[in-house]
Amino acid sequence: MSRLAALLVLIASQTVALAQQGDVARGQQVFRVCATCHSLEPNRNMTGPSLAELWDRKAGGLASFERYSDALKSSGIIWDDRSLDTWLTDPDRMVPDNAMPFEGIKERRDRADLLAFLKDATKPGAAPAVAAQSGMGGMVGGGMMGGGRVPNLREPQASERVTRIAHCRDTYRVTTADGKTHAFWERNLRLKTDSSKDGPQSDSPAIIPAGMMGDRADVIFASPEEISKKIETRC
């Protein structure tokens, strides 16, 4: 066996051993960071996919979740102790261009505790008991107001100017003038109006990063009447 292969085997065995030694109770506290975007209930998808029955699942492979990035779907990763530890360390390094807005957990002990908790909590039938015990509810990731300057949307950039909005099941797909389409869980996209001199021109809504925790983006229209006209139901 080459030195590189031996090193990889050693790292893998250490990762598995660390997960087995993790503190489940402490890992449940660490999971609060994840609970704003992920549920433990089967097929209850939020910003991110449900984590129920996660072990041995192919990355990007949950059929009920429609917002995976192409990068994750084509990664070929199977979730286990080793791959999840690497992912939790630095998702962008493991899968560049993935859609998860998460910088990673750098503390090895925290990852071990989280993995120990998730290994129990994602087993079939485990989610209801875990959710009740941890007290996760509708207030997680709720609406704390953010600050910041109100942008002038009279002349938006191509990446801000919305040309189409499609709604399918629990997902909005927003296409902008630069040709890109962005997928949002319906609770992460906030529809607003701005009739001021800084608001968008008629029939030219704009999308900007959200100023509320739990939201991912705001689409701002010139008037309420434009909202229903702009959104089409299309899968």
Task: Sheet containing 231-233: give its strands across.
Answer: 181-185, 171-176, 162-168, 231-233
Q: The tokens 């066996």 sit on which residue?
A: 1
User: pLDDT tens digit string along 97-113?
Assistant: 999 989 999 999 999 99
pTM of the model: 0.73
**Separation CA 65–CA 172 (nearest Å):** 13
Q: What's the CATH number of domain 3-134, 2.40.10.10, 1.10.760.10, 1.10.10.10, 1.10.3720.10?
A: 1.10.760.10
Q: Which pLDDT does position 210 carry in this prediction?
A: 87
User: pLDDT tens digit string along 122-163?
Assistant: 998 876 555 544 544 433 333 333 334 567 999 999 999 999
How is the chain split into domains, by residue range?
Answer: 3-134, 162-233
Q: Write the DSSP string, 54-75.
A: -TTPBTT--TT-----HHHHTS
**Separation CA 128–CA 56 (nearest Å):** 21
The total number of residues shown for the chain amounts to: 235
The secondary element (H helix, E strand) that includes residue 81 is: helix 81-89
